[in-house]
Amino acid sequence: MLATEPDLSTRLFSHIDFTHGAVAAVSGGSDSTALLLLLKQHLDRTAPSAKLLAVTVDHGLRQGSAAEAQAVAKLCAERGIAHRTMVWAGSKPSTGLPAAAREARYRLLAEAARSEGIGLIVTGHTADDQAETVLMRQTREEGREFAEMASRGLAEMGGRGLAGMAPATLYDWREWIVRPLLGTRRAALRDFLRREHVGWVDDPTNIDETFERPRVRAALAGESAEHMEGALLLAGQAAIERSQLGAGAADLIHRFASQPTTGLIRLDPRLLSAGDDRAAIYAFRILLATAGGVPFLPDQARSEALFDRLKAGFLCATLSRTVVDFRRIGIFLRREARGLPAAAAAVDNTIWDGRRHITLNDSSSGLLIAPLGSAAVKRLAIDDGETPASLMRAALAAEPTSRQAFENPGLPQGEPGSPGFAARPVVSPFARFLPSFDLAPARAVAELIGASPLPAPPLRGHSAG
């Protein structure tokens, strides 16, 4: 049992690079409190100069949350740990509250990390949490014709969800979220806290069966240990399949995808007969979402149907805001013209249309950003090479430019990414959360479209693909 090991912290943290410090997410519950104290022990012994900041997010959803944050601050003061409370301010949604709270929590943790120049966030998710996550997703799959999907393999179920939580996830393409306790049971952590004579808070929402996770938690509590072990085994198998599928997709992207111009992806038709349809369809789904600027991969069944239609011959179709245009010289993907953003004031460090990261220059006050458009794109000089100029113009017409650039005769005419701002591509389906399972295809797409390079993973021996 992990709880009886003489040096639990070494086992949990020795594979993580803490060179640039860490933010520990601490709610005051048993899991996160144990995480904090074990991490402090590890850093004191192995990296005493590393910065450690404990952050408590007060969601403001129930009475007592502020007092709990103060209790964490008191514990940190006693242990010589820097602490900060981040408050989720503003109105709260009437539906989808758990998801909204999760998004707010990670946003606030990332804000705290950035303010301290720390690129690593450590959370206290345990093996119990992992089993709950897998069973929740499995239950959802059963409601979506789970048996039919199961015949296709674990990696295709529900967007690869049965792999559960990844050991590391890149947030906002900047901060790494690491979960070192995924192999540790909650009971072992509570035994550790008892030996340390440290108490914890039990959040009442964790037993409120109005929400899905407490219902699954209660069901697991009534099952045998083998039931949880089975869920964790399922997660491990699915994680392996998901990583293998991603590696195959990355290889196909490297071999068969190119970018003739900004916003236009060309697929070599040989992709359709490469011999690994599962990996090819996965690569196809990632590229569709990226070209269209959508945060989720397109539906598996619709993607498979479109892939099969491409095998049958030339066509032009649209899926996930992406035009798929199959011609003799290749299969071309670009953002459809419908639903592009209207002209709006430029905001620094934001994502435009789900596809471009906008960075303003110092003199960009009052700048308006809009799609270049079909009229302005006609003024661009297009190199008539292998790719038809009409396709390149259609892609560039959907790119952001400043209104001033093509309305003011004194400024450069109709150039995407005009002076005043830079627009860098993003890998849309992974721009917010990139699980370590999917590093290989995310890196392949980033290299293809010219997105910012991935920061190095913090897990020693963990490849970024």
Is the alpha carbon torsion for 26, 30, 35, 41 positive or negative? positive
Band (408; pLDDT cuts 50, 70, 90): low
Q: Which residues contact 423 (CB under 8 A, 6 or more apart)?
A: 352, 356, 357, 358, 399, 400, 416, 417
CB-based contacts of 257: which residues, under 8 Å, 6+ apart? Answer: 265, 266, 267, 268, 271, 283, 287, 448
Apex 353 CA angle, 348 and 357, nearest 5: 40
The region that residue 415 occupies, defined by phi over 0 for left and psi between -120 and 50 for alpha, beta otherwise, is: beta
**What share of the chain has pLDDT > 70, as a percent?**
83
Position 437, amino acid: F
pTM of the predicted protein model: 0.88
What does the mean pLDDT of the chain come to?
Answer: 87
**Backbone φ and ψ of 142, nearest 5°:** -60, -30
Tell me: the pLDDT tens digits for 281-331?
999 999 999 999 999 999 999 999 999 999 999 999 999 999 999 999 999
Whether 407 shows a pLDDT value over 60: the answer reads: no
pLDDT tens-digit series, residues 165-207 = 999 999 999 999 999 999 999 999 999 999 999 999 987 665 5
List residues bridging with 264 in a β-sheet: 261, 334
pLDDT tens across 330-373, in order?
Answer: 999 999 999 999 999 989 999 999 999 999 987 666 788 999 99
pLDDT in tens, 12-49: 999 999 999 999 999 999 999 999 999 999 999 999 99
Question: What pLDDT band is residue 380 in, cutting at 50, 70 and 90?
Answer: confident
3-state secondary structure of 381: coil
Closest to 171 (Cα-Cα) out of 107, 97, 98: 107
Q: Are strands 168-171 and 175-178 parallel, antiparallel or unpaired?
A: antiparallel
Domains of the chain: 2-238 (3.40.50.620), 344-425 (no CATH)
Contact (CB, 8 A) for 257 and 270: no
CB 353 within 8 A of CB 340: yes
Judged against a pLDDT cut of 80, whether residue 131 lies above it is answered with yes
Nearest to 166 by CA among 253, 245, 251, 240: 240
In the sheet that 120-122 helps form, which strands lie side by side, from edge to edge? 82-87, 52-58, 22-25, 120-122, 175-178, 168-171, 433-435
The DSSP annotation for 210-221 comes to TSHHHHHHHHHH
| CB-based contact 369:400 (threshold 8 Å) | yes
Per-residue tokens: 323: 């035009």
Pairing of strands 52-58, 22-25: parallel
Instruction: Give CA 381 to chain center in angstroms.
Output: 37
225 torsion bin: left (phi>0), alpha (psi -120 to 50), beta (else): alpha
- Among 308, 373, 304, which Cα is nearest to 341's? 373
Chain segment 415-446, per-residue pLDDT in tens? 455 568 899 999 999 999 999 999 999 999 99
The DSSP H or E segment spanning 225 is: helix 225-256
The residues, any chain, with a CB within 8 Å of residue 308's CB and separated by 6 or more, are: none
Tell me what pLDDT residue 4 has: 39
Where are any strands of DSSP class E within 273-420?
316-319, 322-327, 330-335, 344-345, 350-352, 356-360, 368-371, 400-402
d(CA 245, CA 263) in angstroms, rounded, equals 26
